[in-house]
Every structure is written in C-alpha cells, then in structure tokens.
Structure 1
Amino acid sequence: MQFQNSLAFAQQLDEKDELRNYRKEFHFPQIAGKDVIYFTGNSLGLQPKMTQSYIDEVMNDWKELGVEGHFHANKPWWDYHERLAAPLAKIMGAQEEEISVMNTLSVNLHLLMVSFFRPTKSRYKILCEEKAFPSDQYLLQSQVRFHGLNPNETIVEVKKRKGEHFWRTEDILAKIEELGDELALVFIGGVNYYNGQVFDMQTITQAGKSVGAYVGWDLAHAAGNIALKLHDWEVDFAAWCSYKYMNSGPGNASGVFIHQKHLGQNDMPRFEGWWGTKKETRFLMKPIFEPMDTADAWQISNPPVLALAPYLASLQLFEAVGMEALIKKRNTIVAYLEFILNEIANEVSGTFEIITPKDRGCQLSVFLHGQGRPLFDYLMKQGVIADWREPNVIRLAPAPFYCSYEDMFRFGQLLKEGILAQID
C-alpha cells in the first residue's frame, strides 16, 4: 500500500477499517475536551465499556446471595476462572487444560520457577536477555539465591551486538549451544518491553529443549498482541499479565500456560493450595493434595472474582474479533505510524530514530537525538498519551482495538510542532 501523510488519506483508511466500530467500545481519557491519542496499550489498555456491567453483576450477586454466590450466582464464583480458559487458549495457541488465571504476573513466575527451575550440581544455569524487564531480573536473581547459587555465575545474559538496538536469534542459539548440559532454563520476555522486538520463540524453544533445558516465556507484552502457538512450540511454561493489550484493568490477574506433558503428575514439584486440588473432592477437606489434571493444579487460592470479571469482559471482545483480524490491523496501523514518523523525520532533518526491528508487534520505540524529555512533555500536554523510557526513548503502541489511522496522522503533526518548538 502506498501511504500518504494527509488527513484525507488517514480518514480513508479508517473508513475501510473492519474494526473501526470497536473504538466506540472503549472509554477514552480526555484532555482539553478531546479524546486523547492513546499509545500506551502496551502499559495499560483502555477500559472496555462493558467492563462495568461484569463488575456490577458480581457486586449484585454478593449483595443478594452472600456466600451462596459461590454456587448460585449467574456465573458461580467457585469456577469463575474456568470461563477464561477457552478464549485465552485461542489467543495463546494452547489447549484449554493448559491455561489457568490466578495471582499476578511476577507471583506466577515465581510459582512456576518452583516447578521449572530445579538446578543440579552440573545443570544449573539460566539464559535470559540482556537488561530484561527489571521484575524478571529480580525474580531470577532471587530464585538463584534461594537455591544457594551465585547470580553472577548462574545467570547468563545474551547481549546485543555493539552499535545495535536488537538481539540476533543466531547469538541466542549460539549461547544455548555453548552452555549445553549446564543449561537448566531458558527464560526470556517474548516481546521486549524496551524496543518492542518479538523474539523467535519457536526456534529458541526448540534450541533450549534440544540441550535438555526447560524453556519459559514472560509474555506480558505478547499476550493479545502477537500470534502465539505455545502448545505446538512445546513451550514448557509461560505467564502474562492481563492489563496491557488485554485491557483488564490496572495490576489485574495473570494468566499461565503449562504444557500438557507436565499436567496430571502427582510428583511435580510446586507450591500447592486448596484450589489446586481436585474439584470433585475439594470440599471434602481431604488432608492430602490431589492435583487437578489441568494447569489449575498450580492454583493456590480461590479466584479473585472481582479481578477476573473485567478480564472476562475484555475476552468477550477478543472472542468477537479474533487475533487474526487484530493482527491484520496491527500490521497496517504500525506500518502507517512508521511511515508518518519517517516523513516527519525527513521534514525536521532526522532528529529521532526508530529502534524497533521489523520483528515486532504493536510497539515502535523512538530514540530521540537532541530532543529529550521536554518533547515528550509537550506531546503529553497536547493530548498524546505515550510512554517514556530512560535514557531517551518514547514508546508508541497503537493498539488495533481502539486506535485510528487519523490518530497516527494527528500525532505526526503534533510531533513535528513539538520538535520545531524545541528547536526554536
């Protein structure tokens, strides 16, 4: 498609957009009486309008039924989480039994490490990407120390090549081969939070497993953003938050994936609790844990229904649209944003650089040369809600559910105005 940097062209794209009506299904913050241009779906997705009714339903059931809501609510609370498994399985490329929803992301990753990081004297090293998301760094370091190991000797980081802003798959594969029998776990963020790079998860997973390591993924920036086939790729485990591209609300519940081959094992190491024991005998209060035959065996506590209700509401939108349609629009709107950015860079003599590689999802990360935080602050005051990352990067994530092509054009004009104002 031959793009044009004009309002008329952007509006034509919006007219042809098969998802354009879904924009109306979300609440937009406003600045100066106008809807913002919202680029932070990679941090916190906008609220679907139907969310309130899902929360109200739970509150009304609690008000009218009290404890009986566990079994007699319209959506009984005791198995509320099970309603999320089927739509999530489609999004994650998984079997329903491989999916559960519980806790929050870092908590779930710690729980999964109990099962999948089991170091021995000879096989104990963890491979991750350089400068992983801080929470991932902290949890890996603390898990290693918990096992009495030295993080500096145990955690191996794959670095970017000098002068490059992205990782090369061949460098990751070479490091896996180098570590060989010492490698216990490969654990990487499937989409990098800083530069937006999508890792070749299938190839890396196969390589990790070929040397006998477990392979897990933090999919915080991948869930609801990119195509995933966790079951077919034979990923051992993964976890993700629900509040970014999945629009479930701030700090909300996390999803987990545990491959089918690890299910139904009574001797699988894990931290166990009441809600992971067999559903059929749970209320017999038996003294010995009998794990569910699904990923729910990793559940410890009963589900936080008030947190799951917004997630379920958002998943209804994903069910209606499907990942194929979302990815189709994602590819076009991100390409149009990239075109707009390049056009503006040419007009203002290249004061910024896109550091996101072509292997990407919704996000473009823009490194500012000579223009720092004041430009970001200017954009925010003009109604552009974007995201700042030190030392000098603006992250832009045009989520396909609710971002429009006109948003991309308008942003380009505001960016140009901001740069010229800073230069003056």
Structure 2
Amino acid sequence: MSHYKIGLEYAQQQDENDPLATFRDRFHIPKDKEGTDLIYMTGNSLGLQPKATKAYIHQELEDWANLGVEGHTEAKNPWLHYHELLTESMSNVVGAKPIEVIVMNTLTVNLHLMMVSFYKPTPKRYKILIEADAFPSDKYAVESQLRYHGFDEKEGVVLWKARKGEELANYEDLETILETQGDEIALVMIGGVNYYTGQFFDLKRITQLGHQHGCVVGFDCAHGAGNVALNLHDSGADFAVWCTYKYLNSGPGSLGGCFIHERHAHNKNLNRFTGWWSHNKETRFKMRDEFDQLAGAEGWQLSNPPILSMAAIRASLDMFAEVGMDKLTKKSKQLTGYFEFLIEEMNNANIKIMTPSNPEERGCQLSIQVKNADKKLHHQLTEAGVISDWREPDVIRCAPVPLYNSFQDVYYLVEKLKEILK
C-alpha cells in the first residue's frame, strides 16, 4: 500500500517538510517568457547551473588576470594542484577511495584511455560485451577499439539483450552469455544506469560474473554519478568512467571522471597512453627525466587540466559534500516514488513506465512510454512549460533531481500530462 497521496496539498506539505528544499534556491531555474519557473526534468541530460558557479569561475579569471602564469603556484587555489581539490568529494560521490579517482578529459576520451589499459585482446579472447541498448557513443567506442586491434566490429561485439516483449535486461541471460561465450570475451563494459530505460544495474553482481569468466569489467556511469550510490570500490570493477554535466551540474561538455580500482594502482606494467601530467609531481618540471609513473588514478592523466571547467565542477561538488549522497538518494527515492504513484493513479492504459519499479534498481529517472504517441506530445509538454527529454519512438524521459526539483514540480508535470492526453 502506497503512503503517497493525490492532490496539490500533499505535494506542498512534502516540500515544506523536505530537509533539502532550500538547495533549490541555490540553482538558476529556467523561466518562461512570463518569468515563471519552468518544470525542469532533464538533469539526466544537463544539470542546472548552481548560482555559486559564477563566483568559482570568476576567482580563476581574476587570478589569471592579476597573476598570469604565476597563478599556477600563487592563485588562491593554485592551478598546479587544482584537480586535487576535487578528488575527495568526487570519490565520495562515486563510492571510491581517493587514490582510485581522477577528474580529467571527457567521457569517451576516458573510456578509450581505459580500454587502452584494460582491453587486452588475444586471437581467442577478444570480444566486448555491452548491453544491447547502450548509449550510442559507448557502442561506437568499443567498435572502434575492435577495428583498431584488427577485429571485425560487428562480430566482436556481444549484446546483452532484453527478452522479446521486455525492456529490461535480465541477469540470467547475462549468466548464459558468459557461460557459453565467456572464454571469448575480453571485456564486459556496461552502462551503470541505462540511459534509455533508467535501469540501475547491480555493478557488483556483474563484476563478479565477469571476473569468474576471466573478463575485465568496466562501467560507463554517466547516468549514475551523482544520481545513485555506485559504490565503485566495493563493486570490484576494474574501471569506470562518467561525465559531470548531468547530475553533477558542471556545465555543457565539462570534464569527466575516471575510476581505476586500487588493485591496479601500482601496476606500472599496464599498457597505457601517457603524458607529462601522469609523471611524478616532484620532478615533472625538470623536463629531462625519464618518465616516472604516478601511482593510482592520477597516473592516467595526460595534460594539465582546464581550470575553468574544474572550477565549475568544484562549485557543484562542494554542494554534494555538504548534502552527502545518503540524503540525496533518500529524497530521490521519495520524489521518484511519488512520480511513479501519480502516473499510475492516472490509470491510463496507453501509459507504461519502462523503468524498474524497485527503487534499488533505478535512480531518479522514469522513462514513460506513451502508446501511439509521437514527438508532438513532447512539443506539447514543452509548450506547457515542462522541459523533458524525448527518445524515439515513444518515450519521455523525466528526472526529478533531488537537489533542485520539488514535489510540486512532479505534481504539476503529471497534471499537465493529463491535460495534454485528454
């Protein structure tokens, strides 16, 4: 029996009792022409801008203006070690140890760098297993790695598909694939939270399965970082990558993050592409020394980092550090559960929620399938002041983000959807 209730009064009451309600005021909420807040439900695509971001970036612009190159050592936050200001809070967000985490590059660049180190194909074991509906860039990346190593990209990709008539991937099918083809699979590379269905995979279970069959296991956590408790260290995964512009609110195209499990931290024999930023910090600027690999995730860095992007990430991560993932995921489950409740109360046979109903198997995204709908529905929602995400052929993705979305946002979204579907 659900503890949620229908009616606006309930939503208002929930917002009044929400310990995280004040964080909404710390974000810029997009508005319509009349100056009314839009119902923004696409934090799963691009998170909103924290109001503090401008000041964080401005600090670096000021230091650059006033100090020039000396900012590397003399800035308020010296640029030389700036990435270290992000490590601890980012490791808390993804459930890792600081030695396992680095903020650098962008998502697919990091994925390729990880595959340089962890995809080690042999003539017998060269295949890469991904979920059938992986995000396209993951698919393109693994196909190109297969081609690069001289394999056929179509034959070399093994797809973990949902069963006929179902949307969600099934673990028994994964077990079957690994039992029958495991000795041919070099790498299992799954999206931690599937972008389309919103299914949050059991990272530990997948890692154990992959490792049992001698495969390396990695995850793309673009839709998981800042959204769900990833517990990357405990999962035992070899590596993971993510972006920071979705749930981590760092701005369009901002830097990504990388996790490399600590058991690989001191392995200098791992194949990798290198650059001067992965060289020993003490002797990095001597320039004449032979390459001296840094331990841990820092040892995968290539270049000195873009400080303005890191400043934006820091503005958001400082807020995450203040709230903590436990409180965020708690509110996320309440907000998403309420959203699910209201959709089901509509009692509309044409509407189906694809996302798992078990709160442990999803984050704050619901993928809502609307039978016989086309993109016109998405346009109507946009005109009604709802910013959501359309995925062909008939799915609206909505993410009530706990940091800045309210119960009233969810209430009004469903009311508008009812109105349009009439």
TM-score w.r.t. the length of structure 1 is 0.97
- Aligned-partner residue type, residue 162 of structure 2: K
Paired residues of 1:371 and 1:419 also in contact (CA < 8 A): no
CA deviation map 1:111-169 (0-9, x unaligned): 11100101012211111100210000100000000000011221100111000011011
Paired residues of 1:248 and 1:310 also in contact (CA < 8 A): yes
What stretches of structure 1 of length at least 5 have no aligned partner?
A: none
Superposition pairs of residues 159-174 of structure 1, within 5 angstroms? 159-174=161-176
- For residue 324 of structure 1, what is the aligned residue in structure 2? 326
SS at match of 1:94: coil
- For residue 356 of structure 2, what is the aligned residue in structure 1? 357
- Aligned-partner residue type, residue 173 of structure 1: E
Matched, 1:297 2:293: no
Q: 1:229 aligns with which of 231, 234, 250?
A: 231
Superposition pairs of residues 74-93 of structure 1, within 5 angstroms? 74-93=76-95
Give the Cα–Cα distance (whole angstroms) in 2 for the partners of residues 3 and 209 of structure 1. 42
SS at match of 1:191: coil
Matched, 1:208 2:207: no
How far apart are residue 288 of structure 1 and its match? 2.1
Matched, 1:17 2:18: yes
Superposition pairs of residues 242-281 of structure 1, within 5 angstroms? 242-281=244-283
Q: 1:72 aligns with which of 71, 74, 81?
A: 74
Matched, 1:178 2:177: no
Paired residues of 2:264 and 2:296 also in contact (CA < 8 A): no
CA deviation map 1:71-108 (0-9, x unaligned): 11011101101111100111111110111111100011
- For residue 339 of structure 1, what is the aligned residue in structure 2? 341
Aligned pair count reads: 417
Give the Cα–Cα distance (whole angstroms) in 2 for the partners of residues 324 and 27 of structure 1. 24
- For residue 378 of structure 2, what is the aligned residue in structure 1? 376
Matched, 1:30 2:31: yes
Superposition pairs of residues 79-118 of structure 1, within 5 angstroms? 79-118=81-120
- Aligned-partner residue type, residue 406 of structure 1: Q
Percentage identity across paired residues of the two chains: 50
- Aligned-partner residue type, residue 350 of structure 1: A
How far apart are residue 177 of structure 1 and its match? 2.0
Matched, 1:411 2:410: no
Give the Cα–Cα distance (whole angstroms) in 2 for the partners of residues 294 and 280 of structure 1. 16
CA deviation map 1:343-370 (0-9, x unaligned): 22x2xx4222111113211100011112
Give the Cα–Cα distance (whole angstroms) in 1 for the partners of residues 154 and 54 of structure 2. 47
Q: 1:137 aligns with which of 139, 143, 149?
A: 139
SS at match of 1:34: coil
Paired residues of 1:169 and 1:200 also in contact (CA < 8 A): no
Structure 1 runs (4+) greater than 6 angstroms displaced: none
Give the Cα–Cα distance (whole angstroms) in 1 for the partners of residues 365 and 289 of structure 2. 49
SS at match of 2:82: helix
Give the Cα–Cα distance (whole angstroms) in 2 for the partners of residues 131 and 242 of structure 1. 22
CA deviation map 1:307-366 (0-9, x unaligned): 11010110001000000000000000001001111122x2xx422211111321110001
- Aligned-partner residue type, residue 296 of structure 2: T
- Aligned-partner residue type, residue 354 of structure 2: I
